[in-house]
Every structure is written in structure tokens, then in C-alpha cells.
């Protein structure tokens, strides 16, 4: 089910496009659902399809095509570390390894307490800030040395009372 509050956010996106082109808002609607629920469920896809008047499979095609949509639930904090070449040259690979050790998981996995999901990712478009990491799709973290990564993880755990 999609709440009225969520539909109000959808409506703001739909208003950007011609009335007969509501489908253009599908990426924004999926991002909104992911922000609110942590991932895109089949139920959410169905709700968005109905709201935008498009086939459910067309929504699913979008979910599966773009890298950032979570097709399964993830940890409370999804950490995406860029290891593309410009970042690799400035310790992006080491940042990923550092987090693997710190969190005790491999890239692609989620910690047992459900707090962190760690992922390797492609260019975030912040190459001069390397190493860079994107948290929950919306917060870019720059110049992430080992020390800063430790701070980020520890402080997020404290903020969550863990």
C-alpha cells in the first residue's frame, strides 16, 4: 500500500512532466519508496504502476536496470564505496577492504545486526574527493581515510544506540 503522504511526494514529481507522460516520474517514485521502506518490493512496484498508469513489468524493468535500486531489503545503512580507477589510485580499494575488516563482512553482505550493508560501486562522480562513499543513496562522504571510516561507523552505531 502507498500512503497518502507518499502519494503527495509522487504528485510533486508527476507535475514536472506533460499530463500524458506520467511515466517519466517512475524513477523518482521508486527512489521515494526506497527512501521510505529501504528497498523496492514487488508490492511497491505494483502500487507505482497503478499510480502512474503503466504496466507493472515496465516499472520492474526500471528497478532492475538502474544500479541504485535495492531489489531486496538492505541494512539500515547502505555503504557504497567507489573503486573505479580514479578512486582506486587514491585508496578507494583500501577503503573497501578497511570496511570489510571493520564490519566483519565481505562486499555485498550485511552485518548480522542489520545495521550495515557494504557494496562496491562504480563512479559516483566525485573523483577529486577520493576515496568516496555514498550512504543510503543520498549522502556523499568525501576523503574517507581509514580513520574517517572508523569514525563514521562508530558514530552511526552510537547514534543508533548500538
Partner 1 sequence: MTTAAQVLSQFQATGVETCFHDRHIDPQIYAGLNGSNWRLQDYEARGGYQALKKILGKDGGEGLNQDQVIATVKESGLRGRGGAGFPTGLKWSFMPRQFPGQKYLVCNSDEGEPGTCKDRDILMFNPHIVIEGMIIAGFAMGISVGYNYIHGEIFQVYERFEAALEEARAAGYLGSNILGSNFSFQLHAHHGFGAYICGEETALLESLEGKKGQPRFKPPFPASFGLYGKPTTINNTETFAAVPWIIRNGGAAYLACGKPNNGGTKIFSVSGDVERPGNYEIPLGTPFAKLLELAGGVRKGRQLKAVIPGGSSSPVLPASVIMECTMDYDSIAKAGSMLGSGAVIVMDDSRCMVESLKRLSYFYMHESCGQCTPCREGTGWLWRLVDRIHRGEGRPADMDLLDNVASNIMGRTICALGDAAAMPVRAMLKHYRHEFAAMIRTTSPQATTSA
Contacts to partner 1 by CB under 8 A: 16-18, 21, 23-28, 30-31, 52, 54, 58, 61-62, 65-69, 77, 83-86, 88-90, 121-130, 134-135, 137-144, 148, 151-152, 155-156, 158-160
- For partner 1, which is the closer residue by CB, 112 or 143? 143
Give the C-alpha separation, 74 to 136, whole Å: 10
Minimal distance, residue 60 CB to partner 1, in Å: 10
Minimal distance, residue 133 CB to partner 1, in Å: 8
User: Are the C-beta atoms of residues 25 and 52 closer than 8 Å to each other?
Assistant: yes
Minimal distance, residue 94 CB to partner 1, in Å: 14
DSSP string, 103-136: HT--TT-B-TTS-EEEEEES--S-GGG-S-EEET
Minimal distance, residue 136 CB to partner 1, in Å: 8
- For partner 1, which is the closer residue by CB, 43 or 61? 61
- For partner 1, which is the closer residue by CB, 70 or 110? 70
Give the C-alpha separation, 70 to 34, whole Å: 7
DSSP helix/strand/coil, 67: coil
- CA separation (Å) from 134 to 10, 23, 109? 24, 27, 16
- For partner 1, which is the closer residue by CB, 109 or 129? 129
Amino acid at each position: 500500500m502507498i500512503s497518502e503522504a507518499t502519494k503527495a511526494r509522487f504528485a510533486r514529481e508527476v507535475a514536472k512532466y506533460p499530463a500524458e507522460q506520467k511515466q517519466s516520474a517512475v524513477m523518482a517514485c521508486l527512489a521515494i519508496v526506497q527512501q521510505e521502506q529501504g528497498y523496492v518490493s514487488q508490492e511497491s512496484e505494483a502500487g507505482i504502476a497503478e499510480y502512474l498508469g503503466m504496466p507493472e513489468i515496465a516499472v520492474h524493468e526500471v528497478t532492475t536496470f538502474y544500479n541504485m535500486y535495492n531489489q531486496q531489503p538492505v541494512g539500515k545503512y547502505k555503504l557504497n564505496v567507489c573503486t573505479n580507477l580514479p578512486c582506486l589510485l587514491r585508496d578507494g580499494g583500501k577503503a573497501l577492504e578497511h570496511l570489510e575488516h571493520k564490519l566483519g563482512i565481505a562486499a555485498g553482505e550485511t552485518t548480522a545486526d542489520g545495521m550495515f550493508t557494504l557494496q562496491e560501486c562504480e563512479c559516483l562522480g566525485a573523483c577529486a574527493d577520493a576515496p568516496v562513499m555514498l550512504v543510503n543513496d543520498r549522502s556523499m562522504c568525501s576523503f574517507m581515510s581509514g580513520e574517517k571510516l572508523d569514525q563514521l561507523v562508530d558514530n552511526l552505531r552510537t547514534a543508533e544506540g548500538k
